[in-house]
């Protein structure tokens, strides 16, 4: 009871952080404080927890954020290069450019699953992620050397394979450090970094493209050279900074490691190191969970709407401004999106909710699609484009939070689920690239996104019904009903902790 009281004291403060560790826990020992902490008072434990989160937040979040900015700058610079003549220099048609955009996902999607399964077996996932950053930076820089459409396709496909490590790996990495009351804001931080990359990517591109013709090199080639080289350098620097997992983190004292490990054990019923589930078995459990199937479909519908990012400079350019002004106008929507993401996830963490926020985002995005198709008024259309980035992508943040909290155990299942949702859901980016034609109204694109938004609202409502049914089974006290709930991934330890599907 004392340990439970301690846990409640810590969890009440949603500014605290915790970590996943690998202590050897068996039986019911996961409910007891580690020996190194048993002499501490409740206040001292809470103070120690705050110290852990401050230390880790100051290191992990800026580092991961910088890497994600680089990830999106390197991924989206092709859209900026289009405004500086890459299609003319490589003699590409509109359809071929769409293929060059989508081919990245052909390499990106299939490599996410094996990468995220592998990362669960690596003691230094941060080093693994940073190594991938340096590799994709070099590949991005090599794009400057392409001289044909075919060469561009090859480089983009390889770039996608290298970038596959980052996003699902970063989500797993964050979930290994933070509890359910903290994870949402940290995922929001990741997406805020994405928006910073989108916003300043356009500004950087506008500046770099002024080098057009310097030393006889086209501006779009300078874009890939400079941004790719910067990614390599920062990836190497971040590799020296990123901490390990909590159980072996050199930045924490032993007492801090023990508390970090205990908190995750007390919340989820187990810690990473207590599980000996094979990677393949965890992968199989993920595939057999109907909740995962629904979450994959939800993310697929959400990522279709997020495809506007790949063509955002083109959409803004349809307003009739010059290429430089169009690139500058891409910044405000992303800055706004970053701010809204934090508000959304802060509210989600504080109120422990996700479902109504998703529906609100979907409703707003549908209205913005209607405006984009219904009028050619420049002010109204730009207003819609300012709102769409946060309204269309916002549900993805809540979906990733849902995955890591509803499919928490075993850890290999969580890693597989995160990668599967992102990989299969991301296939929508392949075909969605071909929707952006018939400027300026883009009927095919906005009409499809509007329909998919409506379907997302329906699907997430079905998912809500499913998890509420599982909670009723857990609340029933009927052994047969509880056994049915356990087939969905609930463990004995989680039942002892009175664990429930939350936020819906």
pLDDT at 69 over 80: yes
Q: Which residue has the higher pLDDT, 503 or 338?
A: 503
Question: Does residue 451 surpass a pLDDT of 60?
Answer: yes
Instruction: Write the pLDDT tens digit of every residue in 200-238.
Output: 766 777 787 788 778 888 888 998 899 899 999 999 998
pLDDT for 363 equals: 95
Give a yes or no: residue 503 inside a domain. Answer: no
C-alpha to C-alpha distance for 272 and 282, rounded to whole angstroms: 13
3-state secondary structure of 450: helix
- Do the beta carbons of residue 402 and residue 466 sit within 8 Å? no
Which of 223-227, 243-247, 339-343, 374-378 is least confident? Answer: 243-247
**What is the rounded distance in angstroms from the CA atom of residue 82 to the CA atom of residue 286?**
40
Vertex 340: Cα angle to 337 and 341 (nearest 5) = 85
Q: For residue 437, give Cα distances in angstroms to 90, 148, 392, 443.
A: 20, 23, 19, 8
pLDDT at 55 over 80: yes
| Share above pLDDT 90 across residues of the chain, in percent, rounded to a whole number | 13
Residue 108, domain member (yes or no): yes
209 is written with which tokens? Answer: 């493209």
Instruction: State mean pLDDT over 171-194.
Output: 77
Whether residue 17 lies inside any domain: the answer is yes
**Closest C-alpha to 71, from 189, 164, 205:** 164
- Cα–Cα dist 315/440, whole Å: 8
Q: Name the percent of the chain in helix, strand, coil, to the closest 5.
A: 80, 0, 20
The maximal CA–CA distance of the chain, rounded, in angstroms, is 76
Angle (deg, nearest 10), helices 378-406 and 355-374: 160
Under 8 Å between Cβ of 220 and 209: yes
Give the number of C-alpha atoms closer than 13 A to the C-alpha of residue 108, restricted to the C-beta side: 25
504 within domain boundaries: no
Token pair of 314 as six digits: 């083109």
Dihedral (CA of 469, 470, 471, 476) sign: positive
Burial class, 346, CB count within 10 angstroms (exposed 0-12 / middle 13-18 / buried 19+): middle
Number of domains in the chain: 1
> How many Å is the Cα radius of gyration of the chain?
23
Q: How many CA atoms lie within 13 A of 254 on its CB side?
A: 4
Give CA–CA dist 383/368, Å, rounded. 8
pLDDT band at 355 (very low <50, low <70, confident <90, very high): very high
| Number of C-beta neighbours around residue 419 at 10 A | 28
| CATH code where residue 314 lies | 1.20.1250.20
- Average pLDDT rounded to a whole number, residues 11-27: 37
Which of 92-96, 362-366, 444-448, 493-497 is modeled with the greatest confidence? 362-366
For residue 498, with 0-12 CB atoms within 10 Å meaning exposed, 13-18 middle and 19 or more buried, which class applies? exposed
Q: What was the pLDDT predicted at 155?
A: 92
Q: Is residue 501 part of a domain?
A: no
Please give the Cα distance from 345 to 393 (Å, whole number).
13
Sign (positive or negative) of CA dihedral 18, 399, 299, 61: negative
Does 336 score more than 80 pLDDT? Answer: yes
Which domain, by its residues, includes 461? 2-496
Residue 468: other Cβ atoms inside 10 A: 14
Q: What is the pLDDT of residue 371?
A: 92
| Cβ neighbours for 320, distance < 8 A, ≥ 6 positions apart | 378
């Amino acid at each position: 009871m004392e340990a439970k009281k301690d846990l409640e004291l810590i969890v009440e403060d949603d500014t605290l952080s915790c970590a996943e560790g690998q202590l050897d826990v068996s039986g019911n020992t996961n409910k007891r404080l580690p020996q190194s902490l048993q002499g501490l008072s409740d206040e001292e434990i809470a103070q120690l927890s705050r110290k852990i989160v401050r230390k880790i937040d100051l290191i992990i979040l800026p580092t991961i954020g910088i890497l994600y900015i680089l990830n999106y700058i390197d991924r989206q610079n092709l859209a900026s290069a289009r405004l500086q003549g890459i299609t003319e220099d490589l003699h590409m048609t509109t359809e071929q450019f769409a293929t060059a955009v989508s081919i990245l996902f052909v390499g990106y999607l299939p490599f996410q699953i094996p990468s995220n399964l592998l990362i669960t077996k690596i003691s230094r996932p941060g080093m693994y992620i940073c190594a991938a950053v340096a590799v994709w930076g070099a590949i991005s820089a090599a794009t400057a050397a392409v001289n044909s459409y075919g060469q561009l396709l090859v480089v983009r496909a390889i770039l996608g394979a290298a970038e596959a490590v980052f996003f699902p790996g970063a989500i797993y990495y964050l979930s290994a450090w933070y509890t359910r009351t903290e994870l949402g804001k940290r995922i929001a931080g990741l997406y805020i970094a994405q928006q910073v990359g989108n916003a300043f990517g356009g500004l950087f591109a506008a500046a770099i493209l002024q080098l057009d013709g310097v030393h006889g090199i086209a501006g779009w080639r300078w874009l890939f050279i400079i941004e790719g080289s910067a990614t390599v350098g920062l990836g190497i620097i971040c590799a020296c900074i990123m901490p390990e997992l909590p159980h072996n983190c050199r930045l924490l004292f032993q007492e801090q490691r023990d508390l970090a490990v205990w908190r995750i054990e007390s919340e989820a019923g187990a810690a990473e190191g207590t599980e000996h589930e094979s990677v393949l078995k965890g992968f199989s459990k993920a595939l057999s969970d109907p909740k995962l199937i629904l979450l994959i479909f939800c993310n697929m519908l959400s990522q279709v709407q997020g495809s506007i990012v790949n063509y955002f400079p083109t959409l803004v350019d349809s307003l009739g401004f010059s290429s430089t002004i169009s690139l500058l106008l891409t910044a405000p929507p992303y800055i706004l999106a970053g701010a809204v993401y934090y508000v959304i996830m802060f509210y989600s963490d504080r109120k422990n909710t996700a479902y109504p926020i998703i529906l609100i985002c979907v409703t707003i995005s549908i209205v913005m699609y209607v405006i984009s198709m219904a009028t050619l008024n420049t002010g109204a259309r730009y207003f819609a484009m300012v709102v769409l980035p946060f309204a269309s992508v916002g549900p993805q943040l809540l979906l990733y939070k849902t995955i890591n909290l509803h499919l928490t155990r075993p850890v290999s299942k969580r890693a597989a689920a995160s990668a599967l949702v992102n990989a299969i859901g991301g296939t929508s980016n392949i075909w969605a690239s071909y929707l952006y034609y018939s400027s300026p109204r883009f009927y095919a694109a906005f009409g499809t996104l509007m329909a998919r938004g409506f379907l997302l609202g329906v699907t997430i409502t079905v998912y809500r019904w499913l998890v509420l049914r599982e909670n009723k089974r857990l609340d029933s006290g009927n052994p047969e009903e509880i056994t049915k709930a356990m087939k969905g991934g609930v463990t004995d330890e989680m039942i002892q902790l009175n664990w429930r599907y939350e936020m819906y």
